[in-house]
Amino acid sequence: MNQILVTEKIYVTPELKRKKKMYKILFILSIFTIISLFSVYIYAEYDRNEKESISQDILSHLEQEDDTLISSYDNALIVSITQEAAASAEQASEELPKTGIVTSKYTASDGNTYDIIGRINIPKIGVDYPIFSEFTPELLKISVCRFHGGNPNEVGNLCVVGHNYRNEKFFSKVLTLQVGDIVEIQDLSKRTVQYEIYDIHEVDPNNRDDTTQKTNGKKEVTLVTCTNDSKRRVIVRCREKV
């Protein structure tokens, strides 16, 4: 009996050799895949942190602007109006400002120049970012962006979009906000207006109903971000706190 057991242990068929070799290959591929995915994740986080640091540079720039710059708000800053804003103005009951979108240009440490329209601060969730004047996939990696509407703190509905990376950055924690919470918007004249959240809901990605500029003469802000599964959009509607 012992002889039989020893013989069975020593004897290895070609089929068993092939399977063992295959298992080794699959194991090596699994390790390689895990390392690759982990490396991609680490690089993505590094890239996000690097790009977000640009937004913090811009905030420092906004804080350091002197009174001379602020006093020249209507003349020295760049004024531009997009076709989207112009079309909205024609359809809305309250037209967008005749001067268009007022922006301040800033050349960051990465060598690129960015157009800024103001700053958003949400004390409850630690959000504090400059608002870019336009919306592009690349700009969204750096800060939050104006998606629709006119200048900050003017009559109308300023829609601001930001990424939900399911971490502590950008609009990731917007999903935790509640009705009654406060959103602060600072314009380029350094005037800060508080907006109180009055509605939170989700919509399909192609739904644009909440970008309406019909606010009955009130100042509103709408925050837009993705749900955690990225299948729908979270809409946070805010109105100037009286």
**DSSP codes joined into one string, 156-179:** EEEEEE--B-SSSSBTTTGGG--T
3-state secondary structure of 237: strand
Q: Are 80 and 103 a contacting pair, CB within 8 Å? A: yes
pLDDT at 31: 75
Buried b (16+ CB within 10 A) or exposed e, 57-74: bbbebbeeeeeeeeeeee
Q: Which residue has the higher pLDDT, 88 or 129?
A: 129
Average pLDDT, the chain: 79
Look at residue 218 and tell me whether its pLDDT is greater than 80.
yes
Buried b (16+ CB within 10 A) or exposed e, 38-50: eeeeeeeeeebee
Per-residue pLDDT tens digits for 84-122: 433 443 343 333 444 488 999 988 877 889 999 999 999
Give the class (CATH, top level) of 41-240.
mainly beta
pLDDT at 224: 98
Q: What is the pTM of this model?
A: 0.70
Look at residue 223 and tell me whether its pLDDT is greater than 50.
yes
Identify the band that residue 18 occupies on the pLDDT scale cut at 50, 70 and 90. confident
Look at residue 66 and tell me whether its pLDDT is greater than 90.
no
Identify the CA nearest to 191 among candidates 146, 159, 237, 152.
152
Tokens of 100: 């268009």
Q: Which residue has the higher pLDDT, 203 or 13?
A: 203
User: Max CA-CA distance within the chain?
Assistant: 101
Q: Are 158 and 152 a contacting pair, CB within 8 Å? A: yes
pLDDT at 200: 98
Percent of the chain exceeding pLDDT 70 equals 74
Identify the band that residue 41 occupies on the pLDDT scale cut at 50, 70 and 90. low
Rounded Cα–Cα distance for residues 21 and 126 (Å): 53
- Give the residue extent of every domain in the chain: 41-240
Distances (CA, A) of 225 to 63, 205, 228: 26, 10, 9
pLDDT at 17: 72
